Amino acid sequence: MIPVLAPTPENLQRAAEALRRGELVGMPTETVYGLAADARNPSALARVFEVKQRPFFDPLIVHIAETSDLDDLCHVSQEAEILMGAFWPGPLTLVLAKKESVPDLATSGLPSVAVRMPAHPVARALLRAAGLALAAPSANPFGGLSPTTAEHVAAAFATGIDCVLDGGPCEIGVESTVVGWENGEARLLRAGGIPLEAIEKALGKKVLPPAPAGEAGEAQTGPQLSPGALPWHYAPRTPLKLLETGTMATATPGDGNEDTDTASLPLSARAGLITFGPEAGPSGRIPAGVNIERVENLSPAGRLDEAAANLFAALHRMDGAGLDVIYAPLVPETGLGRAINDRLRKAAAKKKHET
C-alpha cells in the first residue's frame, strides 16, 4: 500500500527527498493529482512511463514554482507571457520551444516542452521543498480515469511510488488547458480548466481548435502536435455510453434504431446514470431491460465548474459499483463544458476502440 500522507512540513521534506533521489511522489494539484518526478533526471522520468504504462510518444508536463524556473527550460514568446500573466499559477499548460537541458524523455523527443505553474498550495510547497522542476502526468494508469483524490492515486498503483501527499479533493477536477503555437498561431491542444473563451479574451484573438486526433493505434510517423490527444482516454473499466442532449439512448427493440453496443448488454443490465442540471433524471429513453441502479447528478444547479469538479470522482464511484454500463450526458459545449465533453467522449470511445 502506498502511504497517503498529510502535507505536514516533515512529510513535505520526506517527499522532497524522495524526489531528489529519483523516486516518484503523488502530488495534489488544483486540476488532478500528478505523478511527480525530477524533470531533469532521465531515470526518474523512465519510471514515470513504466509505472503509468504510458507510451513514450506521449510527453510530460513540467511543473514549476516560479517563472524564473523557466529560464533554462524554454523560450517564452510574447503571447505566452500574456497567458502566464493572466492565468498562472493555475490550470494552464503552455507548449514552448525547449532548451537543451530538458531531457528527451520529458518531451518525447519533440523540440517543445509543456510547462505549467500549478496553484495548489501543496504542489507549490513541494516544488519549493524539492527545489526541482517536476514532470507530472496525471497519476493514473495510462488511458484510465484521472485521480481527483489521494485515495484514487493509492488505489490505482500498488507499488512504484514513494508516497502520496493528501491535498484533499481537487478543486477544478479536469486537467489543465494545453495551448501551443504553430507558425506563430495559438492552438488549443487540450480543453481543460481554463475556458477557451478566457484564453481568447486574454490574447484578444481567436485560438485555433484542436487538430483532429489521429486514430488510436495508428502508426506514429513523425512528431504529432499533441501526442496525448488520442481519441480514447480517461476511461472507466465499465463501458460508458453517451446520451446526446435530447437523444437519450433510444432503442425500441426491432425498430432498427438500436444502439448496437446496447445489443451486447446482458439481460437486465445494471446501469449507472450520470446527470447534469435541475431537470435531469432518468426520464429519457434508456433501453428496455436496463435497470438504473445508481444515479449521480454532477451539478443539480447546472453549474459547469461544479460538474467538472465532480466528474472523475463520480466516474470512479460508478466504476467501483460493479455495473454493466454507465450512461452519461454531454453538457453544454461552452466554458468548462468543452473539457467535460472531451473527457466523456474519450471515455466512451475507448470501449469502442477495444471491441
Binding residue for ligand TXA, selected from 12, 15, 16, 136, defined by CB under 6 A: 136
- Whole-number Å distance between alpha carbons of 22 and 250: 52
The yes or no reply on residue 28 touching ligand TXA (CB under 6 A) is: no
The yes or no reply on residue 189 touching ligand TXA (CB under 6 A) is: yes
Nearer to Mg ion, 35 or 133 (CB): 35
Stretch that binds ligand TXA, among 30-38, 68-76, 156-164, 326-334 (CB under 6 A): 30-38
| Of 207, 210, 230, the residue nearest 218 (C-alpha) | 230
102: three-class secondary structure by DSSP? coil
Neighbouring CB atoms inside 10 A of 222's CB total: 4
DSSP class of 303: -
From residue 241 to residue 280, what is the string marking binding to ligand TXA with x (rule CB under 6 A)?
----------------------------------------
CB 343, CB 172: distance < 8 Å: no
Nearer to Mg ion, 138 or 226 (CB): 138
Neighbouring CB atoms inside 10 A of 49's CB total: 18
Q: What torsion, rounded to 10 degrees, do the Cα atoms 147, 347, 115, 148 define?
A: -20
Nearer to Mg ion, 138 or 149 (CB): 138
| Of 160, 154, 161, 156, the residue nearest 142 (C-alpha) | 156
Binding residue for ligand TXA, selected from 14, 37, 79, 93, defined by CB under 6 A: 93
The yes or no reply on residue 309 touching ligand TXA (CB under 6 A) is: no
Chain residues binding ligand TXA by CB under 6 A are 29, 31-32, 34, 58-61, 91, 93, 95, 107, 110, 112-114, 116, 118, 136-138, 175-176, 178, 180, 189-190, 226-229
